[in-house]
Amino acid sequence: MDKLAILIPAYNEAQTIGKVVSDVKAVTNNIPGTSIYVYDNNSSDDTTAIAQEAGAIVRHEYAQGKGAVIRRMFREIDAEVYIMIDADDTYPVEAIPEMYSRVVNRGVDMVVGDRLSSTYFEENKRPFHNVGNSLVRWLINFLFKTDIRDILTGYRAFSFRFVKTFPVLSRGFEIETEMSIHATEKRMLVENQVVSYRDRPEGSESKLDTYGDGFKVLKTVINLYRGYHPFAFYSIFSLIALIVAVLLFVWRVAIPYSNTQMVANLPTLIVSMILLVLSVIAFFSGSILNAIQTNDKRNFELALIHTEDRLKDLNHEQ
């Protein structure tokens, strides 16, 4: 079991991976029990060879996608502290000791490397990425009542209990969004750490699809909100259906009936009744799912206890 595991997912990063591994080694020399893992995701260049030459432990994930790589890393590696950093040399490795210290000394479950509070908007040359980061940050902090300042950053530190209780569902770059919401909803201790950001070196290409990945992130946010807050989610549809049903009934049925003593718009009456029934169904669906979610939270707390016991056993074996 490692004291500190540095996790570097990599896909065609031959230009920068060697420097990243070497820089990480330099700043972690004073942390005994550190291992640097590079997980190659079907690179077609020399990423693997360069990472090995630089001194990293290289492993492979053949299912394409960052989410698949992180799932593999979290399953295979046992460590007291994990720090994940991108292989594109955009993050300062000098922040690693402080991130490590926060997890060890303060019991933080996730340290978020906050780019948006420093140099990101000046360094990043893709304006839609700037807008997207700000939008996602606002949306998640609004919906989930949290204060994570950089939702999409790939620079994070994790505790053992976070890694071993985090169910990886996403396959792509929306995985960072999933991590942020999971930590918030499971009441884990999350701290922001401001880090500088530098854009990719010339010739290094980003793997992000601005629009495609952006829509995936928004879809992930909506799905997670539905899963973690089902009562609030379904209540929105219940309220909309109820309002439309009442307006249709009053405007097209009740008012004409008061004047003529006849139901002149029978189809409208039927539609309003159907909407009323849908409103009731949505309301009680949210209520039932909310009760299930409450039970899931209890089960998760029990799983945390089991995870803490496992960590103690691993330390005892050492």
Is the CB of residue 246 less than 8 Å from the CB of residue 234?
Answer: no
How sure is the predictor about 262, in pLDDT bands with cuts at 50, 70 and 90?
Answer: confident
Residue pLDDT, tens place only, 161-208: 999 999 998 887 789 999 999 999 999 999 999 999 988 777 666 666
Residue pLDDT, tens place only, 139-152: 999 999 999 999 99
d(CA 251, CA 172) in angstroms, rounded, equals 48
Q: What percentage of the chain exceeds 70 in pLDDT?
A: 95
Q: At what angle do helices 230-248 and 266-317 cross, to 10 degrees?
A: 170
User: Cα separations (Å) of 42 from 35, 48, 57, 61, 68?
Assistant: 22, 10, 16, 7, 12
pLDDT at 248: 92
Q: Give all strands of the β-sheet with 190-194 in edge-to-edge order.
A: 57-60, 34-40, 2-10, 79-84, 156-159, 110-114, 190-194
Q: Is the pLDDT of residue 64 over 90?
A: yes
Strand partners, 113: 193
How sure is the predictor about 215, in pLDDT bands with cuts at 50, 70 and 90?
Answer: confident
Q: At what angle do helices 175-185 and 127-144 cross, to 10 degrees?
A: 20
d(CA 150, CA 192) in angstroms, rounded, equals 8
Residue pLDDT, tens place only, 103-122: 999 999 999 999 998 878 77
